[in-house]
Structure 1
Amino acid sequence: MLYDDANLEQAMEEFMAAGPQKGTIFVNCATVYPLLTQNLAQKAEKAGVTVLSCPIFGRPDAIAAHKGLCVSGGPEGARQRAKPLLDAIGQGILDVGDEAKAGAAMKLVGNFFIVSIIELLAEGMTLAEKNGVQRQHVVQFIETLFPGHIFKGYANSVANDKFVRTKADPGFPLIGGLKDVGHMQQLGKDSGASMPVVDIIMQHMRQVQEMGGGDFDWSAMALALRKKAHLSVSPLG
């Protein structure tokens, strides 16, 4: 599970140069661009190596509690061999079929929904605060009508300014979110699919990065909305 496309590509090159045995399965859990996954799978296949794309949904605390969700994309035989390992990581496996690139695409689609939830929370809480409604009342509304640890977790992060990443709660850095959202934008363009919400999210993330919040959790993009509304942007000042 490497950080980005460049790291995965380098690791794969070194792995293939070492002469892996035929029948070896390379399981990639990183969030990378689908075309890269496809290219790596095709190169590996020539040497008798199978590439699976198995990115994982879940923050570190969710994984520790076995609440993560593993995606699995690639040849069926390899998927079945890897299944016990993936079962041990999370609460289930989302099987997306025989193409490795489908696993990478599913992770970007899933992250699109997650980051869009953060955008909705940021806009809604900003509107509430500007009209005399406390953030905690919005959290109570979310917890009552939108059950699920992702929605509730980010609602609490945005409401309580829990943006600073720590060893106990490393979250997901905004700079990493920029990488993923950039992939979403590119995939939309390459696929001919309009993604206007992604463009808005990218704008807000970049604004928070310029404010000095690049190492904060990606839910800190809410601070861009607050700044526009002339509200507090703590902990950025």
Structure 2
Amino acid sequence: MCRWFVVKVGFAGLGVMGFPMARRLLEAGFQLKVYNRTVEKALPLKEQGAVVASSPGDLASDVDVYITMLRDADVVEKFLIGEAFFKARSGTIFIDMSTVYPDFSVKMASEAERRGFSFLDAPVLGNVDAAERGELKILVGGRREVYERVLDLLRVMGEPLYLGASGYGSRVKMIVNHILITTVSNLAEALALTRSLGIKPETIMDIMGKHPTGRALEYYWNRMLPEKTRAKFYIELAAKDLMYIVETGVRNRQELPMASSALQTYTKASKTIPRKDYTRIIEILK
């Protein structure tokens, strides 16, 4: 018998990342209740024993832990403040694993605690392959005693890293996303220039491979070369994350010219080539 069998978990958001995360919890022995706006995405989990909720509020009515893995802060707020906080039992632990801006995480923690709940911001690093293997990096902000209560649960999905008070998980996720997304944007521009100058991409990679950062650069460069690349992180989500990064910079009076430039590129790409992997911005630079 799994040692977590008494814990009932609610999971909202069964998208590219959320589905494999929820499935791992179910396979680990947790009692799982799920909700997704497109109910068809929940049916495979129902066949494995999960209960399908009819609404975000219904999902909250009888669970010990309520996890959100949603598209953006607006959707998270609609699910929680709009419904779940009215239906959840006192003492419920809410864990938001979505990528949102730090001030929002602090706001949600305050709203949850005011109602007798606990709240952690716990965005993740890694793609769908890491989610399927349970190898995500989970960046956690909130009260440490709450973090320790759900540590075993989080370990089913990856490696939890406690970073401090509410909002610190989202802060670190924002910084890491800034590095990754602007790096991809710069590489795409460099690849476009490489082609326009009649140089083989392999020549540049052979040279850069000898650089200390060569392996990381090679990984992203190679994802840009094939015309068909499995989408692991959608272009429009990268644009959304860059918008949060730039807005946070403005709030903190920090200039972010590279993020601002990348936001323009990804905003254009999200309108012209949506639902493609974020490395495919090379297509609008041809």
TM-score range with shorter-chain normalisation?
Answer: 0.7 to 0.9
What is the deviation of 1:41?
0.8
Structure 2 distance, partners of 1:173, 1:66, is: 20
Tell me the equivalent position of 1:93.
Answer: 160
Distance 1:58-1:48 versus aligned 2 partners, 3 A rule: same
The one-letter code sitting in structure 1 at the alignment partner of 2:154 is: L
Higher mean C-alpha displacement, 214-223 vs 197-206: 214-223
Tell me the equivalent position of 1:26.
Answer: 94
Select which of 65, 69, 72 maps to 2:140. Answer: 72
Select which of 73, 78, 86 maps to 1:17. Answer: 86
What is the deviation of 1:198?
0.8
Deviations 1:8-42 (A, max 9, x none): 112212111004222x2111100112222111111
The one-letter code sitting in structure 1 at the alignment partner of 2:282 is: A
Structure 2 residues not aligned, in runs of 5+: 1-68
Structure 2 distance, partners of 1:51, 1:147, is: 39
What is the deviation of 1:141?
4.5
Higher mean C-alpha displacement, 59-68 vs 42-51: 59-68
Tell me the equivalent position of 2:52.
Answer: none
Whether 1:219 and 2:279 are equivalent positions in the alignment is yes
Moved over 6 A (4+): none
* More helix by percentage: 1
Aligned 8 A contact 1:204 1:225 in 2: no
What is the deviation of 1:104?
1.3
Tell me the equivalent position of 1:232.
Answer: none
What is the RMSD of the two structures over their aligned residues, measured on CA atoms? 2.0
The one-letter code sitting in structure 2 at the alignment partner of 1:16 is: F
Alignment length (residue pairs): 216
Deviations 1:88-109 (A, max 9, x none): 222x3332102x2121121111
Identity of paired residues, percent?
22
* More strand by percentage: 2
Whether 1:190 and 2:251 are equivalent positions in the alignment is yes
Deviations 1:113-146 (A, max 9, x none): 1101101211222232233321233344555543
Deviations 1:135-158 (A, max 9, x none): 23334455554355x644321121
What is the deviation of 1:76?
0.6
Aligned 8 A contact 1:184 1:198 in 2: yes
Structure 2 distance, partners of 1:87, 1:144, is: 36
Structure 2 distance, partners of 1:68, 1:175, is: 21
Whether 1:52 and 2:115 are equivalent positions in the alignment is no
Structure 1 distance, partners of 2:130, 2:217, is: 13
* TM-score w.r.t. length of structure 2: 0.69
Structure 2 distance, partners of 1:159, 1:224, is: 14
The one-letter code sitting in structure 2 at the alignment partner of 1:158 is: M
Whether 1:117 and 2:183 are equivalent positions in the alignment is yes
Distance 1:186-1:46 versus aligned 2 partners, 3 A rule: same
Deviations 1:151-187 (A, max 9, x none): 4432112122345xxxxx3311111111111101100
Aligned 8 A contact 2:231 2:275 in 1: no
Structure 1 residues not aligned, in runs of 5+: 164-168, 227-237
